[in-house]
Amino acid sequence: MTQPGGAGIHEFDDSLDLDERRALRRIPGITTELQDVSEVEYRQLRLERVVLIGVWTSGTLLDAEHSMQELKALAETAGSLVLDGLVQRRAKPDPATYVGSGKAKELRDVVVSVGADTVVCDGELTPGQLRQLEAVVKVKVIDRTALILDIFAQHATSREGKAQVELAQLSYLLPRLRGWGEALSRTGGGIGTRGPGETKIETDRRRIRTRVARLRKELAGIQTTRDVKRQERRRHEVPSVAIAGYTNAGKSSLLNRLTGAGVLVENALFATLDPTVRKVETNDGRTFTLTDTVGFVRHLPHQLVEAFRSTLEEVAQADLIVHVVDGSDVDPEGQITAVHEVLSEIGATDVPELVVVNKLDITDPLVAARLRRIAPDAVFVSARSGEGVPELLAALSGRLPRPEIDVEALVPYSRGDLVSRVHSEGEVQETRFEPDGTWLAARVGPGLAAALAEFPA
C-alpha cells in the first residue's frame, strides 16, 4: 500500500490480504493541534475529546483520508478536540457494530489510551449500530449526520433557521430513540412490561410527532411569505442568481464583495445558514438579485435537505447558479461532485451554472490548471482581494436572461417610474427627451412591454 499522495494508490480490491483490508489505519495529521484549538476558544465549556472512526468501502486511500479530514473539520467546528482518527477497509460497514466486533474492541482500547469521551463515525449509523457500538466502546457514539445537525443547531439564528434545524433533528431522532440507551425507554418488552399505559419511549415518540407537525405548519407559513416575495420579483422581471457551493468556499465573502451586504464571514463550516438576497447591477446597468444559500457538504443529511427545501428552492428556481468552488481545497473536484449531487436532489440540474473558483490568491497553479480542464468556462476570483471580480460581473451579464421584446414608447414625464423600470429591467438602446415626455427605444420583458403599450411613440 502506498502512502497518501503517492503513485499506485489502488481502488477497492477483494483480492487484497484479509488482514490488510480489515486493519485499522491511523490517519496522519488527524489530531487537533494546539494552534487549531485557539480557533474555538470562544467556547467556554470543556471541549469534547473525540476519536474519529471511518469505514473505507470504495475509492482510493486518498479519498478515505479526504473524508476523514473533513470529518475532523466538522468535529472541530462543533467544538471538539480530535485526539485520533482511524479508518478500516471493508466491503461494507458491519451491520451490528459498524466496524465489526473485534475492531470495536480495538477502538475501545484507543479510546481508553487517549482519554476520549466521544466516538464520531464517518457515516450514518442505524439505531442498532449506535446501541451496539456504544455498548462496546463505553462512551458516547455519534455519527456524521448527528454531528452536522449539531453544527447547524449552533449556527441557526433566525426563526426560520431554528425551525428548519429542529425539524431535521427530530426527523433524525425519531427512529433512533431506542438506539440511545435504556434511559429513553422503560423497557423494550417481555416479563414485567405488560400492562396499561404508555412506555416512556412511546410518549417521547408521540411528543416528537406532535412537534414535527407544528414545525411543518410553521415552515409552510414562512414558505408562503418567501413565495410571495419571489413572485413579486418575477412580476417585475428581475433575474435571480443563486450562489451555491461547498461550505466554507467563500460564498458569503463573494456576496459581500459584489454587494457590500455585510453578511457574517467566518473561517468555519456552515458559518451562515439563512439566505440573504441583495440587488446587484451588471456592467450594462441591468438589475438582478443575488442570493446566498446554505453551504453543501459530502453526504449532506437528507433530513437537512428536506427541512431546508424551501430555502434551497431559491437555487432550483433561479435563472443562474453561481457555483463557488474553493480553489485552495485539497480536493476541489470532490467538492464539485458533492454540490452537483445536492443540486440533483433538489431538482436544480436544469438551471444554467457558472463555476466560480474562489481563493485565487492561495490556489495552487497546478490545481487551477486541473479545474480549467474540468470547467473551461470557469471564472477565477479572490473575494478577499477583489481579483477577477470585474471578469465575474462581465460573465454574469453575459449569462443572465436578456429581454426579448423591442419597444418604442413616449412615456409622459409623470410616469418616471416606468422609465426607471426600463433602465433597471431592460436594455435601453436610445433615449430622447421630447416636449411630451421621454422617448425610449429598448428591449424589455413581456410585463414591462404591456405596461409601455399604452404610451406608443
Q: pLDDT for 67-94, tens place per residue?
A: 999 999 999 988 899 999 999 999 999 9
Q: What is the pLDDT of residues 429-449, one digit of tens each?
A: 899 999 999 999 988 888 888
Q: Where are the domains of the chain?
A: 18-154, 158-176+186-218, 238-399, 405-452
Asked if residue 455 has pLDDT above 60, the reply is yes
pLDDT at 2: 39
Q: How far apart are CA 373 and CA 291, in angstroms?
A: 28
Q: What is the C-alpha separation between 286 and 277, in angstroms, rounded? A: 16
Cα separation, 318 vs 62, whole angstroms: 35
Q: Among 3.40.50.1820, 3.40.50.300, 3.40.980.10, 3.40.50.1400, what is the CATH number of 238-399?
A: 3.40.50.300
3-class secondary-structure state, position 52: strand
Cα angle 322, 323, 324 (rounded to 5 degrees) comes to: 105
Q: Which cell goes with 244?
A: 451555491
Grid cell 449500530 is found at 129
Domain 18-154 carries which CATH code?
3.40.50.11060
One-letter amino acid at 65 equals E
Supply φ then ψ for residue 323, to 5 degrees: -90, 105
**What are the cell numbers at 160?**
426560520
pLDDT, tens digit (0-9, with 9 covering 90-100), for 160-217: 888 988 999 999 988 887 645 444 444 444 444 444 555 677 888 889 999 999 999 9
Residue 250 — left, alpha, or beta (φ > 0 → left; ψ -120 to 50 → alpha)? left
- The enclosing H or E element of 349 equals none
Q: DSSP string covering 247-280, please? A: TTSSHHHHHHHHH-------SSTT---S-EEEEE
- The angle that helices 251-259 and 389-399 make with each other, rounded to 10 degrees, is 90
Domains 18-154 and 238-399 share a fold: yes
Query: Which residue would you say has higher pLDDT here, 36 or 110?
Result: 110
pLDDT for 315 equals 87
- Here the cell at position 289 is 438579485
Task: Give the helix ranges, DSSP H, for 57-199.
Answer: 61-77, 101-114, 127-137, 144-155, 159-173
Burial 233-272 (b: 16+ CB within 10 A, else e): eeeebbbbbbbbbbbbbbbbbbbbbbbeeebebeebbbbb
How distant is the alpha carbon of residue 59 from its chain centre? 23
CA pair distance 100, 67, nearest whole angstrom: 20
Among 391, 447, 400, CA closest to 421: 447
C-alpha Rg value of the chain to the nearest Å? 27
Write the pLDDT tens digit of every residue in 5-56: 443 334 445 545 555 555 677 777 676 654 444 444 434 445 789 999 999 8
Instruction: List CB contacts of 37: < 8 A, sequence separation 6 or more.
Output: 47, 81
Angle at the Cα of 125 (from 122 to 127), degrees rounded to 5? 155
**Rounded to an integer, what is the distance from CA 324 to the centroid of its chain?**
11
Which residue would you say has higher pLDDT here, 372 or 276?
372
Written as nine digits, the cell of 447 is: 410585463
Query: Which range has the top average pLDDT, 15-29, 255-269, 349-363?
Result: 349-363
Average pLDDT over residues 125-153: 92
308 pLDDT above the threshold of 90: no
Q: Which three cell numbers stand for residue 105?
A: 474492541
Cα 142 to its chain centre, rounded Å, is 20
The Cα–Cα gap between 261 and 282 comes to 16
Whether 119 has a pLDDT exceeding 90, the answer reads yes
Q: DSSP code of 49?
A: E
Residue 120 · residue 114 · CB < 8 Å: no
Going 158 to 161 to 167 to 169, the CA torsion angle's sign is negative
Other Cβ atoms closer than 10 A to 192: 8
Give pLDDT, residue 18.
57
- What gap in Å lies between CA 368 and CA 373, rounded to an integer? 9
- pLDDT band (50, 70, 90) for residue 378: very high
pLDDT on residue 157: 81
Pairing label, strands 240-245, 287-292: parallel
Label residue 236 by pLDDT band (50, 70, 90): low
Backbone phi and psi for residue 94, each to the nearest 5 degrees, phi listed first: -65, 130
Using alpha carbons only, what angle is made at residue 11 by residues 7 and 12, rounded to the nearest 5 degrees? 140
Look over the chain and give the mean of its residue pLDDT values, rounded to a whole number.
82
Q: For 83-97, give one letter per residue: b (16+ CB within 10 A) or e.
A: bbbbbbbbeebbebb
Lowest mean pLDDT among 64-68, 109-113, 173-177, 392-396: 173-177
**pLDDT value of residue 20:** 56
